[in-house]
Amino acid sequence: MRSITIVFVIGLIGLLFSGNIKAEQVALPIVIMDALENDWIIQKNGRLNGPYPYMGGSYASQISIDGTMFPEIESATRNVYENGIEIVLGPRAVGSIQVTRKIYLGEGEGHVRYLEILNNTTTTPVSVKVELLSHCSYGDGFIHVWDNENSAVVEFNKQAGVEFICGQGGSLSPKRDKRSTKFLRHTWEAVSILPQSKVTILHFVAVRPKREQALEFAQSFEVAPACSNIDPVDLTCIINYDPSTLGARSGIEIFRGTQERDVVQLKSGDQFTGIVQNEKIEIQASYARLVFPTEQIGTVIFEGGASNIERIIVLNEDVFSGFIQTPKVDMKLDAGGRLVSIRKEKISKLGFRVRPGEREKYPVKHDITLTNGDHFSGTVKNKSLTIAASFGDMPVDIDQIAKIEFISRKGTVTEITLKNGDKVSGFLKDEDIEIDLDFGEEVNVGGGVKIYQDRLEKIVFDSDAVSRITGEQVRRQEQENNSQ
């Protein structure tokens, strides 16, 4: 019988998000296919059946809270991204808290990502016992074949091979039970969740046809690149990976304080907490000088210097890079309430406290990405754009555009996707794109920035239209897969 190895990556300890472009309700169970053409069926409690065509068993990544299992539900939310699909089960009451299971499959990826979100919606703190129980339906053939402090690899020697990878780091490590011959169990005996707060647990599963291939995957898998499209608020709450190792949407490190205190890390390695007293921080970007109220900021990276890599990351994870113009950070320390002033040259990074409900305050309008990695939301003020297409100049009203991509950074070759699905490419004749930022404003201009066309990589004007076009393509592919 043909053998297969399934790789499960389970993050053991505790941050990115590209904004979904479509959300719709779907009935469970539902089929997803990874890049190796393995079909997985997501069942009503989040369990994965399959993979097919290799085996008909099931991988049960079951989660329990104080002994109560996540319940079966009839439908889930399906989020379609430009480069992946996410199935969201819940939230559902499990024990004393609300649990949401997010299952993500990226385009071209040979692994499935789980994010378990544990939310305390009450007004009192709770402490819960959390268990992740992983096994396959043919339990008698379950054996452990390889293991280190970061990974535990097991195999189904009768039907298929199954491999688990367990990341390590963060704020709270689970206890791994190595005694069982039929299951892989990870337990967090006491997970503390503050009122109106949440924590998250990250883990993965992947399939490989041979043990050697799965071992290679287990030993080389990198967690950070697999963390795209994670809501930044969920990301900051991960307890089983170190948030500073996971990066941000644009590859930028996110560094945050607690829910009560800001945190400063010095280049000397010293770190302390308190409350930042600055009301604003300024940065000179390549396209404008910008000022941000500190209440809008999540992270400031001061390690740029002459390399021009200093950055401000605001609450919805918009990223602005350049030279920080604010000369010092004033901070009231926790110990005795003493006020200190720290020159920016001595600071490595500054993390602001996590504010409740911070994402809900700032809905995304137009989504702009620059060639230098800056990424932010705002409103394009141009009423229309003109493309020099092969058949002649074509003016296009902004309200007709779903997205525009700048294919060539030299000569500014662009491809415009219209809301009706049509596409047109050519040279953009408009030199500047004018934008009203959702966060911050340009100094001495009265609001808004002008960005030269060569600095732009992509603008999404209408995410609903893009999601409709992308979703139709995904559904057609799934229909083709199911008919085969």
Residue by residue, pLDDT tens for the chain (484 residues) are 334 444 444 443 333 334 455 788 999 999 888 877 778 889 999 988 766 544 445 566 789 999 999 999 999 999 888 778 999 999 999 999 999 999 998 887 888 889 999 999 998 999 999 998 876 555 555 666 666 655 666 666 444 444 554 555 566 777 777 666 666 778 889 999 988 888 999 888 877 777 777 777 777 777 877 886 787 677 778 888 876 566 544 445 678 888 788 999 898 888 888 999 999 999 998 888 999 999 999 999 887 644 557 889 998 888 898 889 999 999 998 666 789 999 999 998 999 988 877 765 567 789 898 888 788 989 999 999 999 888 888 999 999 999 998 875 544 588 898 988 888 888 888 888 999 998 888 877 666 789 988 888 889 888 777 767 766 655 565 566 556 5
Q: What is the CATH number of domain 5-245?
A: 2.70.98
Dist CA 205 CA 51 (whole Å):
11
Residue-level pLDDT at 458: 87
- Cα–Cα nearest to 266, from 215, 340, 200: 340
422 SS3 class:
coil
Question: Do 256 and 374 touch, CB atoms closer than 8 A?
Answer: no
Q: How far apart are CA 482 and CA 381, in angstroms?
A: 44
Q: Long-range contacts: 380-386, Cβ < 8 Å, 24+?
A: 380/433, 380/434, 380/435, 380/459, 380/461, 381/434, 381/435, 381/436, 381/448, 382/430, 382/433, 382/434, 385/416, 385/428, 385/429, 385/430, 386/428, 386/429, 386/430
Phi, psi of 217 (to 5 degrees): -65, -45
Asked if 393 and 387 touch (Cβ cutoff 8 Å), the reply is yes
Other beta carbons less than 10 A from residue 239's beta carbon: 24
Amino acid at 304: G
Report d(CA 454, CA 266) in Å as an integer.
36
Please answer whether residues 12 and 174 qualify as being in contact, where contact means their C-beta atoms are separated by less than 8 angstroms: yes
**First CA to last CA across the chain, in angstroms?**
22
Distance CA 29, CA 43 (A): 5
- The pLDDT value given to residue 16: 34
Question: What's the rounded Cα separation, in Å, for the pair 253 and 295?
Answer: 19
Q: What pLDDT digit, counting tens, does each position of 291-306 carry? A: 999 999 999 988 764 4
- Structure-block tokens of residue 257: 């304080």
The pLDDT assigned to 427 comes to 87
The structural domains of the chain, with segments of one domain joined by +, span 5-245, 262-351, 363-467
Beta bridge partners of 449: 435
Residue 198: name the closest of 120, 308, 93 by CA.
120
Which of these, 421, 423, 418, lies nearest to 472 by C-alpha position?
Answer: 421
In this predicted structure, what is the pLDDT of residue 1? 34
Buried b (16+ CB within 10 A) or exposed e, 446-476: eeebebebebbbbbbbbbebbbbbbbeebee
What is the structure's pLDDT at 342? 93
Please tell me whether the overall predicted TM-score, pTM, comes out greater than 0.85 for this model: no
Residue 140 sits at the vertex; the CA angle it makes with 138 and 144, to the nearest 5 degrees, is 100
